[in-house]
C-alpha cells in the first residue's frame, strides 16, 4: 500500500510492505499504537504524541508533540465500490489471475517480465493516478504469463495489465 502525500511543500511517499514501512523509499523503524486522542509513535527511540484531524477527505492536520503539520493526500473519485472489488484482492487467488488497473492512470513502472516466477504479494506493476502511486501485487505465487502494459502508457480502469498463471 502506498500513499503520495504532501507536507511542508514537499511531496512525500509512504509505502507499507507487510510489517515494514518506507518513507520516501527508506525503511523507518516505527512503533505506532493508538493512545489518547490519536497515536503514540516511537521512531527510533524518540517519542511522538500524534493526533490527526481530517478536515476534509485527504486534508489532514497532524499534531505532533503539540505542533501542527498540514498533510494532504491525493484523492480520486470512484464510480462505485464494484470497481474496487474487481481489482487485486477482489479476484480469487487460484487459477489464471488477471491483474487489472484499479483506475484510469499511467503506468509508472513495470516490475516483472513475462516468464518471471513471482511470489504471492510480490509487486508487479505501479500505476499512477492523480499523483498517487499504486503498486499492484500478485494475488498468488505463479509465473508471469503476459505483460500487456509498458511504462509510460495510459490505461483505462479495469484494463488487464498482467496475467499470472
Between residue 78 and residue 137, which ones bind other proteins under the rule CB under 8 A? 78, 81, 84, 87-89, 99, 102-103, 120-121, 124, 129-130, 132, 134-137
* Site mask for other proteins (CB under 8 A), range 17-36, x = bound: -xxxx-x--xxxxxxxxx-x
Pick the binder of other proteins from 107, 112, 139, 142 (CB under 8 A). Answer: 139
25 Rama sector, left if φ>0, alpha if ψ -120 to 50, beta otherwise: left
Bridge partners of 38, per DSSP, are 35
- Give the cell for residue 18: 507487510
> Positive or negative, the Cα torsion across 159, 115, 122, 119?
positive
Query: What's the rounded Cα separation, in Å, for the pair 51 and 40?
Result: 9
Nearer to other proteins, 137 or 155 (CB): 137
Q: What angle do CA 120, 126, 128 make, to 5 degrees?
A: 145
As measured in angstroms, the least distance from the Cβ of 113 to other proteins is 18
1 binds other proteins per the rule CB under 8 A: yes
Q: Which is nearer to other proteins, 107 or 138 (CB)?
A: 138
CB of 94 to other proteins, least distance (A): 15
Amino acid at each position: 500500500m502506498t500513499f503520495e502525500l504532501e507536507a511542508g511543500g514537499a511531496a512525500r511517499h509512504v509505502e507499507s510492505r507487510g510489517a515494514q514501512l518506507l518513507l520516501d523509499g527508506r525503511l523507518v523503524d516505527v512503533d505506532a499504537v493508538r493512545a489518547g486522542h490519536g497515536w503514540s509513535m516511537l521512531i527510533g527511540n524518540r517519542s511522538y504524541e500524534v493526533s490527526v484531524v481530517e478536515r476534509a477527505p485527504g486534508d489532514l492536520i497532524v499534531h505532533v508533540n503539540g505542533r501542527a503539520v498540514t498533510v494532504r493526500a491525493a484523492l480520486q473519485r470512484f464510480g462505485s465500490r464494484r470497481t474496487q472489488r474487481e481489482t487485486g484482492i477482489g479476484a480469487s487467488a487460484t487459477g489464471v489471475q488477471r491483474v487489472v488497473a484499479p483506475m484510469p492512470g499511467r503506468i509508472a513502472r513495470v516490475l516483472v517480465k513475462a516468464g518471471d516466477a513471482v511470489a504471492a504479494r510480490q509487486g508487479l506493476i505501479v500505476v499512477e493516478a492523480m499523483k498517487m502511486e499504486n503498486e499492484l501485487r500478485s494475488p498468488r505465487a505463479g509465473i508471469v504469463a503476459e505483460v500487456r502494459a509498458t511504462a509510460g502508457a495510459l490505461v483505462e480502469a479495469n484494463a488487464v495489465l498482467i496475467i499470472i498463471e
